[in-house]
């Protein structure tokens, strides 16, 4: 237990998700201040997801080949910071496209390799994953609430400097986390293709892609949607934070929940809640209590879903395939699924309107629910 670098891992998660807490809710508002239209905002905001389609898989293969996961995380953190600094030197669509593409390419390397490193350090104590990962949620809450209030009293351009600070924190802690020993596993004799041929794994990945797709409009246009309906940025920050605060509780409770309910039941429940949540956001924006309940459901649609998904990945991908499994999960679900959801929302926001855009999110979650129920066979 004492060999687990608890606080160094927690520190990395804190700043990684503080960056997301500053970027996902408010970057769209910054782009809107530059007079970009909904389609352009959808394209730029989707770049974090687009680069996740191919970058994490490439980084994951390299990490498993070299056995140096943290070295790659360190190099990616530094190059990601350097790339981000380009944001201060231009405001045109094409310039921001290049800068955000480069930043996203390097940034996307970190999380799957940190997840694999954390689980390797934990060994048989995987129940402690939630207590480490929860610090990422704390970082998100601190960023989203603090910056929300800050933007009510300062210009939106101040956001750029806060994001820079969080990226510096990522660099610092990337050099504090030690490498973890890769322990051989019985699946080492299998090829990665043989593992993916299992029907349950394929259905699981497609369902998770649909869940990420469903969240695309939420991460791209949620703050803009609320501002258009009269919510202040401070209130918006708290709405983002409330869901993540509840998520923190889920991360601490999930070990007990997993003793009572299997992973499949947790996944089924999370998809059911996602269907309800996105319909509430789309059609209940005029009622703050509806929006509040929808945000509380984030604890399930992201927190419980993510914790259960990590355990599924850790179950099927061990030993020499660990980093590749984590990386492919990030690429296929958050990458491809998130990119498709973000790009779709850019088209649908003006074409269908916000209500039907979020209804399509509910439909995607419903399709994922069907796959989990009918095709995924895991306890």
Q: Where are the alpha helices (DSSP H) in the chain?
A: 6-33, 38-66, 69-84, 93-107, 110-122, 129-153, 158-174, 192-196, 199-228, 233-260, 263-283, 288-296, 298, 305-316, 322-329, 338-351, 354-375
Token pair belonging to 282: 């789309």
DSSP assignment of 244-302: HHHHHHHHHHHHHHHHHS-HHHHHHHHHHHHHHHHHHHHH-TT-HHHHHHHHHTHIIII
The per-residue pLDDT for 306 is: 85
**In this structure, how many other beta carbons lie within 10 angstroms of the beta carbon of residue 21?**
30
Mean pLDDT by 10 residues, the chain (379 residues): 77 94 88 89 83 79 79 92 95 95 88 83 75 88 88 90 96 90 57 72 92 91 90 87 86 79 91 97 95 94 88 75 75 84 86 93 96 84
DSSP assignment string, 155-189: -TTHHHHHHHHHHHHHHHHHTTSPP-PPPP-GGGG
What are the tokens at 283? Answer: 């059609």
Angle, to 10 degrees, between the axis of helix 263-283 and the axis of helix 305-316? 140
pLDDT score of 313: 85
Q: What are phi and psi of 125, to 5 degrees?
A: -100, 40
CA-nearest of 91, 108, 109, 114 to 47 is 108
CA dihedral 251, 253, 255, 260 (to 10 degrees): -140
Where in the chain are the domains? Answer: 6-179+191-375
Is the CB of residue 181 less than 8 Å from the CB of residue 122? no
The whole-number pLDDT of residue 319 equals 62
Give pTM, 2 decimals. Answer: 0.76
Cβ atoms of 39 and 350 closer than 8 Å: yes
Distance CA 113, CA 55 (A): 12
Q: How far apart are CA 187 and CA 95, in angstroms?
A: 45
Burial-class residue 276 by CB neighbours within 10 Å (0-12, 13-18, 19+).
middle
Q: What is the CATH number of domain 6-179+191-375?
A: 1.20.1250.20
Other C-beta atoms closer than 10 Å to the C-beta of 379 total 8
Q: What is the pLDDT of residue 329?
A: 84
Contact 234, 363 (CB under 8 A): no
């Amino acid at each position: 237990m004492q060999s687990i670098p608890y606080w160094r891992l927690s520190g990395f998660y804190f700043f990684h998700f503080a960056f997301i807490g500053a970027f996902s809710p408010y970057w769209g508002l910054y782009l809107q201040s530059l007079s970009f239209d909904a389609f352009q905002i959808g394209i730029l905001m989707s770049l974090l997801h687009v680069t996740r389609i191919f970058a994490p898989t490439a980084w994951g293969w390299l990490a498993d080949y070299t056995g140096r996961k943290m070295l790659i995380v360190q190099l990616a953190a530094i190059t990601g910071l350097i790339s981000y600094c380009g944001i201060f030197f231009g405001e045109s669509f094409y310039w921001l496209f290049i800068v955000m593409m480069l930043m996203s390419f390097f940034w996307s390397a970190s999380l799957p390799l940190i997840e694999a490193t954390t689980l390797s350090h934990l060994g048989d104590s995987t129940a402690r994953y939630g207590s480490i990962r929860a610090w990422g949620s704390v970082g998100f809450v601190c960023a989203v609430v603090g910056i929300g209030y800050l933007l009510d009293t300062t210009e939106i351009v101040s956001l750029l400097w806060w994001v820079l600070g969080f990226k510096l924190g990522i660099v610092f802690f990337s050099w504090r986390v030690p490498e973890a020993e890769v322990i051989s596993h019985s699946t080492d004799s299998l090829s990665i293709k043989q593992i993916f041929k299992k029907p349950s794994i394929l259905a699981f990945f497609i369902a998770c892609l649909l869940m990420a797709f469903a969240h695309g409009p939420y991460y791209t246009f949620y703050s803009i949607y609320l501002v258009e309906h009269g919510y202040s940025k401070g209130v918006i920050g708290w709405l983002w934070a409330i869901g993540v605060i509840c998520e923190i509780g889920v991360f601490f409770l999930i070990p007990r929940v997993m003793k009572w309910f299997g992973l499949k039941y947790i996944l089924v429940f999370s998809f059911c809640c996602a269907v309800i949540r996105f319909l509430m956001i789309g059609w209940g924006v005029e009622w703050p209590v509806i929006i509040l309940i929808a945000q509380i459901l984030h604890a399930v649609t992201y927190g419980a879903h993510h914790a259960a998904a990590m355990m599924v990945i850790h179950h099927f991908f061990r030993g020499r395939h660990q980093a590749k499994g984590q990386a492919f999960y990030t690429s296929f679900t958050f990458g491809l699924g998130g990119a498709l959801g973000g790009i779709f929302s850019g088209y649908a926001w003006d074409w269908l309107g916000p209500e039907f855009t979020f209804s399509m999110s509910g439909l995607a979650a419903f399709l994922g629910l069907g796959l989990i129920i009918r095709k995924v066979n895991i306890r």
